[in-house]
């Protein structure tokens, strides 16, 4: 079972910007092949790092305004926030170990 949090325009500020934990946000879409490839890695990391990092997902088709505000030009895009600020970002389907490297030094 995934421990990732679904992010919308209504909860972005409280769940991501206001989080006391570092946050990994996965900007994705249901039709995106590379997004589907990394989805199991995102779920595994949410389980493995539960309580140490928050893993969130933004469906760019359902949350077009959020995607636009964050200038998401390609998906999947993984963005790491800490203290309400972007500290790392990568637009690519990455292996699990590479995704982990985006936030590992923050926890």
Q: What is the CATH number of domain 5-106?
A: 3.40.30.10
Reference 80, options 49, 54, 62, 98; nearest CA is 54
Which of 82, 81, 39, 32 lies closest to 57 in space, CA to CA? 39
What residues are annotated to the active site? 32, 35
**pTM (2 d.p.):** 0.94
Each residue's pLDDT tens digit, 24-78: 999 999 999 999 999 999 999 999 999 999 999 999 999 999 999 999 999 999 9
Q: Is-cis flag, bond preceding 76, omega within 30? A: yes
What is the CB neighbour count within 10 angstroms for residue 28?
A: 23
Strand order in the sheet with 5-6: 5-6, 54-59, 23-28, 77-82, 85-91
């Amino acid at each position: 079972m995934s421990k990732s949090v679904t992010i919308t325009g209504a909860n972005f500020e409280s769940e991501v910007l206001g989080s006391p934990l570092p946050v990994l946000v996965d900007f994705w879409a249901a039709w995106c092949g590379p997004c589907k490839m990394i989805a199991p890695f995102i779920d595994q990391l949410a389980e493995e790092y539960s309580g140490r990092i928050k893993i969130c997902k933004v469906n760019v088709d359902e949350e077009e305004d959020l995607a636009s505000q964050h200038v998401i030009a390609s998906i999947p895009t993984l963005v790491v926030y800490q203290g309400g600020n972007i500290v790392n970002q990568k637009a690519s389907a990455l292996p699990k170990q590479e995704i982990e490297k985006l936030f590992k030094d923050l926890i």
